[in-house]
Amino acid sequence: AKKAPMHKKSSIADAIIVYSLIHFSKLNQGNHYFFISSNTEDFYQRANGKKEIHQDLKPDFDANNIQAFTTLN
């Protein structure tokens, strides 16, 4: 099965964005990172009544101190 962010459509651009951040965070450990995208179709899933980062991306986000947000508000 395809994994996020390419699970619904083949979006190389989305994959490059998110995996570049994950790669950068691995090379620069000890910092906190923020991923902000309103693209809830590719990067997020609904859980417990709210949007959270997709389960395919969550392990990398958790391991590398990356927090996900849909807006800056």
Q: Kindly give the confidence (pLDDT) of every residue in the chain, 73 residues in length, as a single tens digit, with 9 standing for 90 and above.
A: 677 676 566 678 888 999 999 999 999 999 999 999 998 888 999 988 889 999 999 999 999 999 999 999 8
**Sole residue written with tokens 């807006």:** 71
At 48 the pLDDT is 84
At 3 the pLDDT is 75
Q: Are strands 50-53 and 66-69 parallel, antiparallel or unpaired?
A: unpaired
Compute the distance between CA of residue 29 and CA of residue 7 in angstroms, rounded to an integer: 28
At 24 the pLDDT is 98
At 52 the pLDDT is 94
- The H or E element containing residue 50 is strand 50-53
- Amino acid (1-letter code) at residue 4: A
Q: What angle do CA 55, 21, 29 make, to 5 degrees?
A: 100
Compute the distance between CA of residue 62 and CA of residue 51 in angstroms, rounded to an integer: 16
At 72 the pLDDT is 92
